[in-house]
């Protein structure tokens, strides 16, 4: 695990669940270079730690994440705002963090409250379970800034809501309330604001008791399925199932079934 204490994040570990809180409440938890590096480092460490079986990601204060810090973007590119300089900045920062989130094998729960926009959408949508408070909102404000959706939004959004709805949200730059977000499939479910973290912990605890390695492979299979033909998907399933069958959790699952008891998975 990283030895440096994060300055833009709060991180806690309890019973196999890591809770990561984006901690720039005065900026609605907008992501700057420092936060991006810290979040990537924490995700790297926790995803490699077999003791961590689930991760919760949330935001401090009244919002989840307002996206990229606009002032920080200018700093990343320096005084050179030409496309090559911007591309270099994004590849070394936001794009790499988005890739890390998408590659995460550990189950991820996003607990979203208040405003979420820009890159914050990509962070939330990368989660396996997205819980939204009744006060949450999702702003597709890229077009209003003269920009295109990034941070994995164009990859994830059509997979969640379909191409037609994705076009409507992005081209019109709409802000979506939690009720519509649940109906569209942007979030798993809406919960009362006071119950958000409690429900996130309940879901994460359930995931943490699961067969972590098998869940990680399931995440990858589902994400890759959209770009696969039937035979490729079947081949990938076969390969993953062979690995799962060889694991300790598969043996425990079979034993629990025979003995008519709940399985006690170790994530192996």
- Residues in the chain, pLDDT under 50: 1-3, 91
Predicted TM-score of the model (pTM): 0.90
Q: Locate tokens 């409440």: which residue?
A: 25
In a 13 Å sphere around the CA of 181, the CA atoms on its Cβ side amount to 29
Strand arrangement of the beta sheet that strand 175-176 belongs to: 115-117, 137-139, 175-176
Look up the CATH superfamily of 9-208.
2-enoyl-CoA Hydratase; Chain A, domain 1 (3.90.226.10)
Residue 110: beta bridge partners? 57, 130
**Top CATH class, 212-259:** mainly alpha
How is residue 88 written in tokens?
A: 């270099």
Q: How far apart are CA 12 and CA 3, in angstroms?
A: 14
Q: How far apart are CA 24 and CA 183, in angstroms?
A: 30
232-253: pLDDT as tens digits: 999 999 999 999 999 999 999 9
What is the domain partition of the chain in residue ranges? 9-208, 212-259
């Amino acid at each position: 695990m990283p030895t440096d204490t994060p300055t833009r994040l709060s991180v806690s570990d309890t019973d196999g669940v890591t809770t990561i809180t984006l901690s720039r409440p005065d900026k609605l938890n907008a992501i700057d270079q420092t936060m991006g590096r810290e979040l990537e480092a924490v995700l790297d460490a926790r995803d490699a730690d077999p003791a961590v079986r689930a991760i919760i990601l949330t935001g401090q204060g009244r919002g989840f994440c307002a996206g990229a810090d606009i002032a920080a973007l200018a700093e990343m590119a320096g005084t050179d705002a030409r496309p090559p300089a911007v591309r270099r900045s994004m590849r070394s920062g936001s794009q790499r963090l988005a890739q890390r989130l998408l590659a995460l094998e550990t189950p991820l729960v996003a607990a979203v409250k208040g405003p979420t926009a820009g890159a914050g959408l990509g962070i939330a949508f990368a989660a396996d379970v997205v819980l939204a408070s009744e006060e949450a909102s999702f702003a597709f404000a890229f077009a209003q800034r003269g920009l295109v959706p990034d941070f994995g939004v164009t990859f994830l959004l059509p997979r969640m809501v379909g191409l037609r709805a994705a076009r409507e949200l992005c081209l019109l730059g709409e802000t979506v309330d939690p009720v519509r977000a649940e109906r569209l499939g942007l979030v798993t479910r809406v919960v009362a604001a006071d119950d958000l973290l409690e429900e996130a912990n309940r879901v994460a605890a359930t995931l943490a008791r699961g067969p972590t390695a098998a869940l990680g492979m399931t995440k990858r299979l589902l994400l890759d399925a959209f770009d696969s033909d039937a035979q490729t998907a079947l081949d990938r399933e076969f390969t993953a199932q062979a690995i799962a069958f060889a694991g300790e959790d598969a043996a425990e699952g079979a034993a629990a079934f025979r003995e008519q008891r709940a399985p006690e998975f170790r994530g192996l």
